[in-house]
Amino acid sequence: MPIPAVEFEQVRFAYGESEVLRDVSFTVARGEVVAVMGGSGSGKTTLLKLIGGQLRPKSGQVRVDGEAVGDLGESALYAMRRKLGMLFQFGALFTDLSVYENVAFPLRERLSLPESIVNDLVLMKLQAVGLRGAAQLMPNELSGGMARRVALARAIALDPLVMLYDEPFTGLDPISLGVTGKLIRELNDALGSASIVVTHDVAESLAIVDKVVFLADGVIVAHGTPDEVRASDLPFVKQFINSETDGPVPFHKPAAPYGEELGLEVVRG
């Protein structure tokens, strides 16, 4: 059996006392695009940070290409990160560098290539996201959707084995949304990489992914292909997919009884 690109094995993680992930296990093979869904604060972004080694699991193992990320020392961790590409929620472009220089950044920092090859690679990556025409612009001259596509070109500059997407669809207009979804799928297939997409966007992601993992309160409550997920009877999954306001995920945050807080109980007593 080939080594999975990313593997979570019984991973637990806590910020201080509060446990964010409990016994999370799943694998992502090369060529697969997996969506990780769940409400805000369900531990999705933590999951990405565990893969990147910015956080270490409390117990269990996170493996990237067979290497246990939690056990790596500083230099081995930086070496492992060469296999990763990450698209941040708002792009995280370097605001003092032009679009061209942003995409060239990982090439210049990590490889010592002749300038002509750097130039070719940058133009190829920008062409792949459709923004070769924006090469000389500064990040503050781009729209949100364009900034994210430039960030995507930068993330794939070194043809990573694993692509991580942190909320790639947030705050995009319908056209940019479609473009981003299409790019995620196409780039994954072209590079033969594995992609993990952390998202809330049900419609857009179900259209492009191979597998979905649902997280709630740090536990995987459901997983399967988009069709299986759509047909699921689990109340949580149904609530999420149909965007119902109340259900297993309550509308109200747990609180003291309403009447009591308004002082009504006292009056009656």
Partner 1 sequence: MVNWIVKFFSRVGEPFTNALLKLGFASRFLIAILRHSTTALVRFRLTLREIWFAGVLSVLIIAVSGLFVGMVLALQGYDTLVRFGASSSLGILVALSLVRELGPVVGALLFASRAGSAITAEIGLMKATEQLSAMEMMAVNPIARVVAPKFWGGVISMPLLAAMFSAMGIFGGYIIGVQLLGLDAGSFWSQMQSAIDFQQDVLNGVIKSVFFGVAISLIAVFEGFDAPPTAEGVSGATTRTVVTSSLVILGLDVLLTAFMFRGV
Strand ranges of the sheet holding 6-15, from the earlier edge strand across to the other edge = 18-28, 6-15, 59-64, 67-68
Give the residue with the Cβ less far from partner 1, 19 or 88: 88
**CB of residue 140 vs partner 1: minimum separation in angstroms?**
12
**CB of residue 210 vs partner 1: minimum separation in angstroms?**
23
Q: Residue 57 CB: number of other CB atoms within 10 A?
A: 21
Find out whether 149 and 90 touch, Cβ atoms under 8 Å. no
Contacting positions for partner 1 (CB under 8 A): 52, 54, 78-79, 81-82, 84-86, 88-90, 92-95, 105-106, 109-110, 151, 154, 164
**CB of residue 85 vs partner 1: minimum separation in angstroms?**
8
Give the residue with the Cβ less far from partner 1, 99 or 212: 99
Give the residue with the Cβ less far from partner 1, 147 or 179: 147
Give the residue with the Cβ less far from partner 1, 109 or 233: 109
Polymer length of the chain = 269
Closest CA to 5 of 206, 192, 236: 192
Helix (H) or strand (E) segment spanning residue 197:
strand 194-199
Q: Is beta strand 194-199 parallel, antiparallel or unpaired with respect to 162-166?
A: parallel
**CB of residue 91 vs partner 1: minimum separation in angstroms?**
8
Give the residue with the Cβ less far from partner 1, 44 or 154: 154
Closest CA to 178 of 145, 217, 137: 145
